[in-house]
Amino acid sequence: MSNPIIIAGPCAAESREQLFGTAQQIADIFSEKGISLTYFRAGIWKPRSNPDDFSGAGRQALSWLREIERDFHFAPCVEIARPEHAAACAEEGITNFWIGSRTTVNPFLVQEIADAISGLPCTVMVKNPINPDLNLWAGGIERFLKNGNSKVLAIHRGFSQNSESIYRNAPIWQIPIELKLRFPEIPLICDPSHITGDPSLIASVSQIALDFGFDGLMIETHINPAAALSDSKQQITPAMLAEIISSLIFKSQTTSPTEEALRKQRTILYNIDSQIAELLVKRMQIIDNIAVIKKDNNLPFVQPQQWGKVVENYKSKALDDQQYKIFLDKFLELLHQQSIERQSKKQ
């Protein structure tokens, strides 16, 4: 890929200082490392789950973004979630938008926004809906394509989930890949910040996306993530962003098809290993919790029928080959041994 689309900037515009500070650092470090920024993002109307949470700086931030465009030559983009947001942007001359995942779920609203910007040449990036529904995502995209005058992009930000996972939002890669097959001409961007919710996983998820043929990345970047008023845990500094981007392998950098094929598989493997590593630690922590409950209630720490259920669960998901069965027996023995040792230490 010769020119990946790079979108960076804070989750939310919080103040003029925070926005300028972030933009300045991105500008400095990107020029030093020869990286170019395609869009500078900042949410100014924030869709928050809790009504008491910071909900964005609002309309005043549009003029800060115009100043950033003037001073740094960054193309600003904001989330619009209502036709009125589109109108405010049009008045301030902001023409790059994204549609958030909570908006994409609502076809009425998406249509109203599409109608509101139908006369305006603009860029619209449609995030996937929070639920894993390819047709709903595709339908949202179609509504803007029908406008004819909008440049349309798609952003994959993962899907809400209730199960325990190392990701904030499950990537379910087959959905964006299917979308790419349906709309090969629409650039597909990955938002690893909202998928992972965790800076330590941003690089590996970004690499997977690039390996799957994504056209770019949207990464939340804040001058001081710890002090961010929204999504503080997942934002990274401009310096971290530049480091991640420099570490990524973009398609054009690879040499032979064999190397390319191997690298793809290894990236996926690395991601699986990260998940196994984290889940194993979580499992040990649960074992410790159980040990405390058993101790407090004078219960025996070895409960064979419980372990039988664990074994049954693993076996029901096993590969049907002898080699795997032998491996699984050894692994389960180790796991059980470890669990007994940890629990006995707590007694």
Contact positions vs Mn ion (CB under 5 A):
11, 231
Return the one option of Mn ion, ligand PEP, none that residue 192 interacts with (CB less than 5 to 8 A, by type): none
Q: How far is the CB of 101 from ligand PEP (least distance, A)?
A: 4
Structure tokens at 332: 């389960």
- With CB under 6 A as the contact rule, the residue among 157, 168, 180, 222 that binds ligand PEP is 157
Which stretches within 47-197 are classed as H helix?
60-72, 83-92, 101-104, 107-116, 134-145, 174-182, 192-196
Classify each residue of 83-117 as buried b or exposed e, where b means 16 or more C-beta atoms within 10 Å of its C-beta.
Answer: bebbebbeebebbbbbbbbbbbbbeebbbebbebb
What H or E segment, with its residue span, contains residue 326?
Answer: helix 322-346
In whole angstroms, the minimum distance from the beta carbon of 317 to ligand PEP comes to: 31
DSSP-based three-state secondary structure for 86: helix
Tokens of 61: 């931030």
CB 9 within 8 A of CB 42: yes
Candidates 68-76, 95-103, 106-114, 291-299; binding stretch for ligand PEP (CB under 6 A): 95-103
Q: Write out the E strands in the chain.
A: 5-9, 39-41, 76-79, 96-99, 122-127, 150-156, 188-190, 216-220
76 contact, one of Mn ion, ligand PEP, none, CB 5-8 Å limit per kind: none
Which residue number has the CB closest to Mn ion? 11
CA–CA separation, 32 vs 27, rounded Å? 9
Strand-pairing partners, residue 154, are 126, 188
- In the bound state with Mn ion, the residue whose beta carbon lies nearer, of 7 and 11, is 11
Residue 100 in contact with ligand PEP, rule: CB under 6 A = yes
In the bound complex, what is the minimum distance in angstroms from residue 332's beta carbon to Mn ion?
40
- Six token digits for residue 314: 């693993």
Q: With contacts defined by CB under 6 A, how many residues of the chain interact with ligand PEP?
A: 9
Pairing mode of beta strands 216-220, 5-9: parallel
Q: Quote the least distance from Cβ 11 to Mn ion, whole Å.
A: 3
194 binds ligand PEP (CB under 6 A): yes
Cβ proximity of 206 and 198 under 8 Å: no
Return the range that interacts with ligand PEP (CB under 6 A); candidates 26-34, 96-104, 309-317, 319-327.
96-104
Q: Minimum distance from CB of 77 to ligand PEP (Å)?
A: 10
Residue 267 lies near ligand PEP (rule: CB under 6 A): no
**Site track for ligand PEP across 40-79, x = CB under 6 A:** ---x---x--------------------------------
Find which of ligand PEP, Mn ion, none residue 121 binds, CB within 5 to 8 Å per kind.
none
* Backbone Cα Rg of the chain: 23
User: Contact between 11 and ligand PEP (CB under 6 A)?
Assistant: yes
Minimum Å distance from CB 291 to Mn ion?
38
Query: With contact defined as beta carbons under 8 Å apart, do 328 and 315 qualify?
Result: yes
Tokens (6 digits) for 253: 């950098």
Q: How far apart are CA 78 and CA 98, in angstroms?
A: 6
**Given 85, 127, 156, 168, the residue binding ligand PEP (CB under 6 A):** 127
CB of 155 to Mn ion, least distance (A): 12
The residues binding ligand PEP (CB under 6 A) are: 11, 43, 47, 100-102, 127, 157, 194
